[in-house]
Each structure stands twice: as structure tokens, then as C-alpha cells.
Structure 1
Amino acid sequence: MDITTSPHHITPQKIIFRATLDILPLCAAVTPWGILCGSLAIQIGLTALQAQLLSLMVFAGAAQLAATSLLGAGVSYSPIFSSTFVISSRHLLYSAVFQKYIKDLSLPHRLCFAFFLTDEMFALTSAYIEKHKSFNYLYAISTGIVFYLMWNIATFAGIVVGNNITNFDALGLEFAIAATFIAIVIPSIKSSPILISVLTSGITVLVLELFEFSFSLIASTVMGMLAGYFTQLKGLKNES
């Protein structure tokens, strides 16, 4: 499989440039989130180096925030690992979607893809596939690398802020988490099955959170997928 050129013979440089332009708005949206991660890491007692290494080596967004918060609360490692696993479980779905595209690539290429795979990379690469009817590894990995760099820059800014501002929580930057996911999801709603899937997932997770269900994220994801699948299946039957 060619990992550097598109089916339309666009140069690698243009692919990287296009990927960078596409990911920059999401980088801007997630910047407050990264700042929050860096600041929180400092506030719970990590050194600046430890806080930066957390983003450099873990690169997990919501799971990283949750782990940092639990670590600051003095929680043991077992709940931290289980919580981050549940939060990151959606990546099992992401990897399943892309498995057919990267299965023939070398192990280093697949490991690199797995490390940089995020919600943002998934959304943009899926949109690219839908538009061009073809997967492009260079486009996908370029969005991931640019996002990784911006995430770590934001973390560094948070480390600096965390050392100098005491009332950082009052800024309300945690809303960046919700804003980022909204920015990812809304543009993808282009059909009834997707709309039903999004609404079902949203309503399900809200209801389950009211009952403090531990696996609300996974359950709502499965419910959304099933709702979207059966809605699409019903539509196909009506057309036949």
C-alpha cells in the first residue's frame, strides 16, 4: 500500500499542507484543554518535567485529565488504570474502522498510527475517506502529528500558567472538552441514521450518568451504534 501519495497524484507536500489546515481549527479548540492538563498536573504536585512527559508519552486527552485528577486525589493505581481504560475504550472502535486500511502496513507504521490516533484524527481521516473514496496514510498521520505537537505546546503553556496563576479553575477552560467533541460531531451529521445515533448516545449517557452507572460511556456508544445501524437497515428495507 502506498503511504505517501493520494489516488489523485497529489504531492506529499500538498497532502501534509492540507492535513495541517484541516486539523488547525481543532487544535485551537483543544488548546484550553491542553492548558488545563498542564496546569492541573502542576497543581497536584508533579514537576514541570513530569507534567510535560505525561503529554509526550500518554497523549490521551480526557483519559489524561481523569488520571491526573485521580492521582491528585490520592487514588490508588488500580482505579486510575480502570478509569482511563473505560474512557479510552472508544479507540477500540476507531482502530476497528481503520484496521482494513492499515493491516498490510509494516509494524512500525501501524504502531505510529495507533499512537497518534485521536478523536480529531479519526474524524478528519473518516471525512477524507468519505470525500476521496480512499484512505491516505500520510494525510492521517500528518493530522495526528500536528495535533500532538499543538497538544504538547498547550500543555507547556499550562505548566507555566499553573506555576503562576492560583485561581486557574475560575477561567472555566474545562468547557473546551465539550466544545471540542461538539465541533467534531456536528459536521458529521449528514443523514438520519447518524442523527439518530448521536441523539441516542447523548440521551443514553445523560440518563446513565444520573444513575452513576460506571460504564455509561461504553453503553451509550453501543446504544448509539445499534440505533444508527437499525435506522439505516430500516431505510434500506423501505427503499427495496
Structure 2
Amino acid sequence: MPSTDTPSKVGPDTRAPRIQPFSRGAVAALPLCVAVVPWGLLTGSLAIESGLSPVQGQAMSLLVFAGAAQLVGMGLIKAGAGLGSILLTTFFISSRHLLYSMIYRQHLARQPKRWRLALGFLLTDELFALTSQPAPGAGGFNRWYAFGVGFTFYLVWNITTFFGLIAGRMIPDLNTLGLDFAIAATFIAIVVPMVKNLAVLATVATAAVLAVLCEVQQIEGGIIIAALGAMTVGFLTTGKTS
């Protein structure tokens, strides 16, 4: 008698629409991850110097996941600042994410809540830079591509923080080795590819010149002055140049 077992039908691989864009996102993030490595090491070592335990230092990277805010926050902790000062300062440092979220809204408004929460948590300068434009080959915003970018940064950030925590206990004054240049290198790598017209070039140049002048003249609030000046120049030149 012929066997009654019939081979199961093999449908299309439903994983492909997820794995392929996720992998492209992870690969796209790798070049910027190189610059993030020394930044993460510095963050881990500063956590030890500021008096945090290794568990607290790692938890900060796991839960906060914001390089600049973490560095400033740990500096304030080391200086003995109060909780209110720490929260207010880190709020202003991270306020640029409000602008990112306004742009991201068009992509995430119709996404399920779990995706809005996940990508909102993973939103960084690097993720915004790599996903504010359509994903390569996707024809538009792809949430799996964005998740691949964001999760890769999250993973690298926490791994390097872990090794920074170890190095902070073994190598004294790790912050004197110039690892903080990685912060500038990361933002240079993010900004340069986005300079595609004269208006953006004018904005970037204004921010750079004002930031340097304020630093040389030791003017307090130089970052805010540079940011406001650059935004003003960008607003005045947008639409008038191509």
C-alpha cells in the first residue's frame, strides 16, 4: 500500500524579509562601530573613576545607552552634583533626540507599539544618520534594517563598556590616553557623508568655527552658542542654495 504520509508543503522562507535587512543594517553599522570602541572603553573606565561599581557602570550602558549623557553624568557624579543637576544636564544634552523623533515619526507612526518602543530606545546619532534615508535596496524605511543598525551599536557599546570597566581597574588614568578623540571621530564620520549641499556645508562650518572660537576664548556655553549659530545659518541658507 502506498504510504499515507505526505510531504509537508514548504512555503516561502518568512525569515528572509527579516534576516536580510537586519544583516544589511548590522554591516552598515560596523564602520561607525570602530569609532565607538574607544568611546565605550572610555565610558567604562570613567564609571570606575567616578565611584560607580562595575555592575552600576554596566547597568548605565544597558539602560541609558547614551554616550555623551553617560560621560557627562559620570563627570557630575564624580564632582558630587545632585540628582536634579544630573537629570537636567543630561536632558539638555539629549534634547537633540526630540528633533530625531520628529523626523522618525513619519516612519514609526503606523508601526506596532513594540517597534516604536524598541527603535525609540535604540535611537542614537548613528542610527539616525544611517536610517533617516531609505535603506539600501529596501525602497523605503525598513524597521528590520533599522533594528539591525541599532542593535549592533547597542551590543558593541555594552561589550566595550564591559572591557572599559575591566581596564579602568587595571590601567590608571585611562582617560589620559586620548580615547576621547573617538567622540569627535564618531561625529565627523556621521556628519561628513551628510554634507550634500551648500546649506548643510555652511551649517557644519559655522558650528565648527563657533565651537573652536568659544573653546579658545574660554566662553561658557560654547556648544549652545555653536548650535544656535549653526541652526540660524542653516535656516537662512536652506532653500536659497542647492
Q: TM-score, normalised by structure 1?
A: 0.86
Are 2:85 and 1:85 aligned? no
Moved more, 155-164 or 202-211: 202-211
Q: CA deviation at 1:187?
A: 1.3
Q: Please show how residues 110-129 of structure 1 align to structure 2 within 5 Å.
A: 110-128=116-134
Q: Percent identity?
A: 43
Q: CA deviation at 1:219?
A: 4.8
1:201 aligns with: 207
Moved more, 49-58 or 227-236: 227-236
2:106 aligns with: 100
Q: CA deviation at 1:79?
A: 1.6
CA contact under 8 A between 1:90 and 1:218: conserved in structure 2? no
CA contact under 8 A between 1:86 and 1:217: conserved in structure 2? no
Over the residues paired in the alignment, what is the CA RMSD in angstroms? Answer: 2.1
Give 1:59's aligned amino acid. Answer: F
Give 2:176's aligned amino acid. Answer: A
| Whole-angstrom CA distance in 2 between matches of 1:44 and 1:232 | 43
Q: CA deviation at 1:105?
A: 1.7
| Whole-angstrom CA distance in 2 between matches of 1:21 and 1:127 | 16
Please list the CA deviations of residues 58-104 of structure 1 after superposition, one character each: whole Å capped at 9, or x if unmatched.
10101110001110111111221111111111111111111111112
Q: TM-score, normalised by structure 2?
A: 0.85
2:174 aligns with: 168
| Whole-angstrom CA distance in 2 between matches of 1:199 and 1:111 | 35
Q: CA deviation at 1:208?
A: 4.8
Q: CA deviation at 1:133?
A: 5.4
Unaligned segments of structure 2, at least 5 residues: 1-15
Q: CA deviation at 1:128?
A: 3.3
2:73 aligns with: 67
1:3 aligns with: none
| Whole-angstrom CA distance in 2 between matches of 1:228 and 1:175 | 26
- Shift in CA distance, 163/211, structure 1 to aligned 2, threshold 3 Å: closer
- Shift in CA distance, 187/112, structure 1 to aligned 2, threshold 3 Å: same
Q: CA deviation at 1:218?
A: 4.7
Give 2:151's aligned amino acid. Answer: I
Max radius of gyration: which structure?
2
Q: Comparing both structures, which one devotes a greater share of its residues to helix?
A: 1
